[in-house]
Amino acid sequence: MSFSHFISPFKLTFFILHVIHLTFISNAHTQNPKVSAVLVFGDSTSDPGNNNFILTPFKGNFPPYGRDFPHKKPTGRFTNGMLASDMIARYLGVKDNVPPYLDPSLTVHDLMTGVSFASAGSGFDPLTPMISNVIPLPRQLEYFREYKTRLIEKLGKTKTMEIVNNALYIVSAGTNDFVVNYFTLPIRRQKYTLPGYMDFVMNNEMDFIQVCFLCLDFFLNGKKSHV
């Protein structure tokens, strides 16, 4: 029986987010309650400006975006102020806001305390990021691997492992798969009913999270995986 018969995609998303947060940080909190960094994947709900650095029409770097942000400056966030990921980072005392990974002006401290790999317009359906030429989630994972390499070069592997192991991971995506993709273009509707597409998106979401776990486990424990 399909997932959609049991739970809505939104409730499943929140459930998975809680699971991934607790699972990633539970071991770290057993020994050290402080979160070292906030690392973010997703779409416009968590993109602080990565799309400013790629060729796409999906940008939030103009007014009225940013009118309630410090200095009232649009940053690329699709909001008048902070994103939820910024608020979480601030609440945890990690940093005031989470910067975009593609920003060339990032300092070592910026990298150490966390970045966002998210890209507005992206989604779990591989077709979704293609519509607006934004960063797919698998590519965001590649940036995460690159991020770890950059930290190792600056801080060494031991310190990098400590940061990665004690980080809070946030995944926020899925809206564009329906709003930009399924309900706007006929391509997926020709193949999937709405419940069928919900299952397709949720399966892709669970696959992405599994790859996140495998990628992190391989880095921390040296276990081989198919990622």
Q: Kindly give the residue spans of alpha helices, DSSP state H, lying in 32-104.
A: 84-91
The amino acid sitting at 62 is F
Q: Is residue 168 part of a domain?
A: yes
Q: Which two tokens stand for residue 81?
A: 């102020």
DSSP secondary structure letters along 184-204? T-STTTTT--HHHHHHHHHHH
Between 152 and 3, where is the model more confident?
152
The DSSP call for residue 34 is: S
What pLDDT is attached to residue 9?
A: 45
Q: Which two tokens stand for residue 19?
A: 């699971």
Q: Is residue 129 part of a domain?
A: yes
pLDDT digits over 65-91, tens only?
Answer: 999 998 899 999 999 999 999 999 999
Q: Which domain holds residue 114?
A: 9-50+82-221
pLDDT band at 20 (very low <50, low <70, confident <90, very high): very low
Task: Report how many domains make up the chain.
Answer: 1
Distance, CA of 99 to CA of 210 (rounded, Å): 25
Contact between residue 97 and residue 86 where contact means Cβ atoms under 8 Å apart: yes
What pLDDT is attached to residue 71?
A: 87
The DSSP call for residue 111 is: H
End-to-end CA distance of the chain: 28
Nearest to 63 by CA among 44, 51, 80, 49: 80
Segment 13-32 mean pLDDT: 43
Q: Is residue 177 part of a domain?
A: yes
Q: Which residues pair with 16 in a beta bridge?
A: none
The DSSP call for residue 101 is: T
Segment 123-130 mean pLDDT: 98
